[in-house]
Amino acid sequence: MVNESDVDLGDGTTVHTYDTGGTGPVVSWRYGTPNIGAQPAPLFPPPNCSG
């Protein structure tokens, strides 16, 4: 289950969050301006899919 919520940063901006309830690391991704340039490398390798 994924819980969605909005966090008001107090400066007129809001961060939309997705929480899966896991115990792993927190991942933050900012998209749009000023994020220019190449995307970062993937955090994890692709899954090993058979079939």
Record the pTM. 0.47
Beta bridge partners, 3, equal 19
Tell me how far apart the alpha carbons of residues 40 and 38 are, in angstroms, rounded to a whole number: 6
Instruction: Considering only residues 32 and 43, tell me which one the structure prediction assigns the higher pLDDT.
Output: 43
Whether the pLDDT of residue 35 is over 60: the answer is no
* N-to-C CA span, the chain: 27
Q: Sorting pLDDT into bands at 50, 70 and 90, what band is 32?
A: low
> Measured between alpha carbons, how far is 21 from 45 in angstroms, rounded to an integer?
22
Give dist(CA 26, CA 5) in Å, integer: 15
Q: Is the pLDDT of residue 12 over 60?
A: yes
